[in-house]
Amino acid sequence: MAVKLDSVLTCPKCGFSSEERMPTDFCLIRYQCKKCGHVMTPKHGDCCVFCSYGSVPCPPIQESANR
């Protein structure tokens, strides 16, 4: 299965959703909501904001699930 690079991030504070392209060479550990300004950080045990708040987990997690 191919790795998806686009994920919809949903702000836990205001519920605003935004489709974003995930980086493939680093984990994104801070993301500021475009609507309310809330700074999202990964939940305990997650490597990045996409794994915590995204519709699709980050590329390394997708790759490990496909093995």
Answer whether residue 10 is part of any domain: yes
Question: Any idea how long the chain is?
Answer: 67
Answer whether residue 53 is part of any domain: yes
pTM score of the predicted model: 0.91
Answer whether residue 67 is part of any domain: no
Per DSSP, what are the bridge partners of residue 7? 20
In the structure encoding, which two tokens stand for residue 38, read together? 């809330």
pLDDT value of residue 58: 94
Q: How far is C-alpha 44 from the geometric centre of its chain's CA atoms?
A: 14
* pLDDT tens over the chain, length 67 residues: 789 999 999 999 999 999 999 998 888 999 999 999 999 999 999 999 999 999 999 999 998 887 7
Start-end of H helices in 1-67: 49-53, 59-65
Number of domains in the chain: 1
pLDDT value of residue 26: 87
Answer whether residue 30 is part of any domain: yes
